[in-house]
Amino acid sequence: MGYVDIPLPRLALALGFIVVAIVLSRRGKLRLERDLAWGAARAAAQLIAIGYLLRALFANERPGWVILALTLMLLVAAWTSARRIKSGRGSRALLLYALASIAAGAAVALVPVFAFIVPPKPWYEARYLVPIGGMMLSSSMNVVAQVLERLFASARAEAATIEQLLALGATPQQALAPYTRAALRAAMIPTINGLLTVGLVALPGMMTGQIVGGVAPEQAVRYQIVIMYQLVVTTAISGALAAMLSRRLLFTPAAQLIVPPEPEPLPGK
């Protein structure tokens, strides 16, 4: 079973959707027109570029290239998750901790799956490693960004309470515990909601993609089940690790709170 090709002129028709949103933004004075146009252009450019890159990668499938591609994705994910946070202890440590959290979460989800559940042949087959790896990395990136953002914001807003707990003999872990719990719960909830609504509300992109591409639906859903379980473990590990490592940025070795500076403002603000 084949699939319907999209020639470029017909692809351009999809721009109409962006035009609709831009018109609505202008009429509603939302001032999102530039962001929408820029976002649409970037998304197209990035995806077209990755399409050609993936084609080149599939044509020259060697372990080094595949690992390089995954490493680059990991670096971009780490940088993106850490870039808006300002740590009093320097941005290099923050970037390193974000990288470690994302890498660990993704590795725990990817290695067993590629070893036992969906073993690609050869083991470095880019068709499997890159898209599934990308899904884990991007999910992990979002969780790490959210956990860091929330914990650093709590350390700023609740500095007096955290210090009071320290003064009463709390360890940094104890003093930060309520905020850590809240951050991890908030980071896990979208993944859990995903588990609860998948198939009822959302038909995930990978699964629909596979079905459109001609894979038997009952096989496509198996992939999707594996992916969703992988997302759960990635989120849990990356989030917990990011929370643990951020304590090193928020406290001195002598258990003194380092109140972090204000974060970078969001784009467009």
Joined together, the tokens standing for residue 14 give: 């999809």
Of 15-23, 80-88, 94-102, 255-263, the window that binds other proteins (rule: CB under 8 A) is 255-263
Q: Which of 46, 71, 91, 174 binds other proteins (CB under 8 A)?
A: 174
Q: Which long-range contacts (CB under 8 A, 24 or more apart) does 223-227 make?
A: 223/118, 224/198, 226/113, 226/117, 226/118, 227/132, 227/135
Query: Are 259 and 88 in contact, with CB atoms under 8 Å apart?
Result: yes
Examine residue 173 and tell whether it contacts other proteins (CB under 8 A). no
Examine residue 161 and tell whether it contacts other proteins (CB under 8 A). yes
The binding track of 215-254 with respect to other proteins, each residue x by CB under 8 A or -, is -------------------------------------x-x
Q: Which of 36, 53, 163, 229 binds other proteins (CB under 8 A)?
A: 163
Joined together, the tokens standing for residue 192 give: 């859990």
Examine residue 262 and tell whether it contacts other proteins (CB under 8 A). no
Torsion of CA 190, 191, 193, 195, to 10 degrees: 170
Q: How many residues bind other proteins (CB under 8 A)?
A: 18
Give the span between the Cα atoms of 58 and 52, in whole angstroms. 10
In the chain, the amino acid numbered 205 is G
We find the least distance from the C-beta atom of residue 84 to other proteins, in angstroms, to be: 24
Interacting residue ranges for other proteins, rule: CB under 8 A: 160-161, 163-171, 174, 178, 252, 254-257
